[in-house]
Amino acid sequence: MAAQDSQRRVALITGVTGQDGAYLAEYLLGLGYEVHGIKRRSSSFNTARIDHLYQDPHSRKVPFLLHYGDMTDSTNLIRLMQQIRPTEIYNLAAQSHVGVSFESPEYTANADAIGVLRLLEAIRILGMEKETRFYQASTSELYGLVQEIPQKETTPFYPRSPYGVAKLYGYWITVNYREAYGMFASNGILFNHESPIRGETFVTRKITRGVARLEVGLEDTLYLGNLEAKRDWGHAKDYIEGMHLILQADQPDDFVLATGETRSVRELIEVAFAEVGRSIEWHGKGVEETGVDKKSGKTVVRIDPEYFRPTEVDLLIGDASKAREKLGWKPKTPFAQLVKEMVASDLENARREAAHGKHSL
C-alpha cells in the first residue's frame, strides 16, 4: 500500500438508508471519513434518514456520496468497490425484519446470506484483502433458542427464523474469509438497538409511535403479538460507535454489543404509556388479553395473532464484557432514557400530523 493510501479513510456503508446506516454515516463524517453509501432504487423517496447530511454544512467538509445498488447484484457491488476502493466496509444492508423473513425466506437468504459472500468475494476479486477492513452486521438472533444466559461470543447458535439462519451464514462466511484469506473481517453480534428513527414496524417503535398517536387522538388501539418475549434493548447511537471500534482493533475478531439488561414487550408497553402519564391494567389471557388505560377506562392494547411468529426467540440478554475489555466499548443510554426519547419524538411527529394532516397525492 502506498504511504498516501494508508492515510485514506474511505468508508462504504451498505444499508445507509436504514437506522444504523444513517447514524453511522453521520458519525463517520464527523470523524473526517469520506463516506459512500449504497441505496436501493425505490419508487418513492427512501433517504429521509440521511437527507440532513446533505443539508448540514458541517458535513460538507468531506464528501458524502450515494450510489444505487443492491445486495443481490454482484456486478453492481464489484463495480462500486472498484470505483470507491473503501478502506472500511460496513455491511449493514439486510432484509432485517424477523417476522417478514417467514414471508420472504428466499429473498432474505439472498440479501442477508449470499449478499455477504458477494461483498467478500468482491474484495478478493479486486485484490483488496490487505487494504479493506470488513464489518458484518451479525445479530443476537443467531442465539435463538436459549442455550445459555447471558449470551456471549462463545454461546452456541440456534437461530429460529429464516432471517436468523441467513445471518448465520453471513457470520460464518465472514469468519471463514478471515481465516482462509487473512482478511480483516469482523462480526459485531449486536443485540436489539433502537432510536427515534427505528423502522416503524419493529416492536419498540411500533409501541412508542402507537402511544403517541393514541395520545394525540390519531388512533384508538395498538395491536401487538407476543407480549412475553424479552429483549436486551439499547440505543442505536451507542452501537454504531461500537461498530467503528470493531474495525479499529488491532486484530479482526467477533464481538457482542449489548446492555446486559432484559425486559419483556409488556414492560416496554408499560414504560412507554407511563411517559404520557397513563398506566395499563391487563385483563384476560392469551389472544384475548387486553390492556386498559386506567385513566380513561379505554382498551388501548389488543392482541392480533398475525404478529406471532411460527418460531419465537423468547429471551435475549447479552454479555458485552469482551467488547468492554478489548475495545473499551460500553453502552451509555439507559433503557428509560431511550423510551423517553422515542416517545417524545413520536409525540412531535403525531402532533405535526394531527395539525397538518398527511400529505396526499
Residues with a catalytic annotation lie at 139, 141, 163
Q: Which stretch binds ligand GDR (CB under 6 A): 116-124, 137-145, 336-344, 353-361?
A: 137-145
92 scored as a contact of ligand NDP (CB under 6 A):
yes
CA–CA distance, 195 with 199 (Å, rounded to integer)? 9
Out of ligand NDP, ligand GDR, none, which partner does residue 111 contact, by CB within 5 to 8 A per kind?
A: ligand NDP
C-alpha closest to that of 183 among 173, 192, 193, 191: 173
- C-alpha cell of residue 329: 466499548
178 scored as a contact of ligand GDR (CB under 6 A):
no
Interaction pattern, residues 297-336, with ligand GDR; x per rule: CB under 6 A: ----------x-x--x------------------------
Question: Which C-beta is closer to ligand GDR: that of 183 or that of 193?
Answer: 193
H-assigned helices in the chain: 3-7, 19-30, 51-55, 74-84, 98-103, 105-109, 115-125, 162-181, 203-216, 236-248, 265-274, 321-327, 335-356
Question: Which C-beta is closer to ligand NDP: that of 200 or that of 267?
Answer: 200
Question: Which C-beta is closer to ligand GDR: that of 185 or that of 190?
Answer: 190
Size of the site for ligand NDP (CB under 6 A): 26
The residues in 189-248 that bind ligand NDP, with binding defined as CB under 6 A, are: 190, 192-193, 199
139 scored as a contact of ligand GDR (CB under 6 A):
yes
- C-alpha cell of residue 173: 462466511
Cβ atoms of 309 and 225 closer than 8 Å? yes
96 scored as a contact of ligand GDR (CB under 6 A):
yes
3-state secondary structure of 80: helix
Least distance CB 347 / ligand GDR (angstroms): 20
Dmax over CA atoms of the chain, in Å, equals 70
User: 73: Cβ–Cβ under 8 A, 6 or more apart, which residues?
Assistant: none
Out of ligand NDP, ligand GDR, none, which partner does residue 19 contact, by CB within 5 to 8 A per kind?
A: ligand NDP
Cβ atoms of 52 and 25 closer than 8 Å? no
Burial 50-82, CB ≥16 within 10 A → b, else e: beebeeeeebeebebebeebbbeebebbbebbe
Question: Which C-beta is closer to ligand GDR: that of 27 or that of 102?
Answer: 102
Residue 121 phi/psi, 5° resolution? -65, -35
Residue 32 phi/psi, 5° resolution? 95, 10
Least distance CB 38 / ligand NDP (angstroms): 6
Out of ligand NDP, ligand GDR, none, which partner does residue 224 contact, by CB within 5 to 8 A per kind?
A: ligand GDR
Question: Which C-beta is closer to ligand GDR: that of 154 or that of 201?
Answer: 201
Among 265, 271, 272, 327, binds ligand GDR (CB under 6 A): 265
Question: Which C-beta is closer to ligand NDP: that of 70 or that of 215?
Answer: 70
Among 80, 94, 229, 339, binds ligand NDP (CB under 6 A): 94
Angle between helices 162-181 and 115-125 (to 10 degrees): 20
CA 301 to chain centre: 26
Out of ligand NDP, ligand GDR, none, which partner does residue 116 contact, by CB within 5 to 8 A per kind?
A: none
Strand order in the sheet with 222-224: 222-224, 299-303, 290-293, 280-283
Interacting residues with ligand NDP (CB under 6 A): 14-15, 17-21, 38, 40, 42, 46, 70-72, 92-96, 111, 137, 139, 190, 192-193, 199
Which residues lie near ligand GDR (CB under 6 A)?
A: 96, 98-99, 139-141, 191-192, 201-204, 206, 224-226, 229, 231, 265, 307, 309, 312
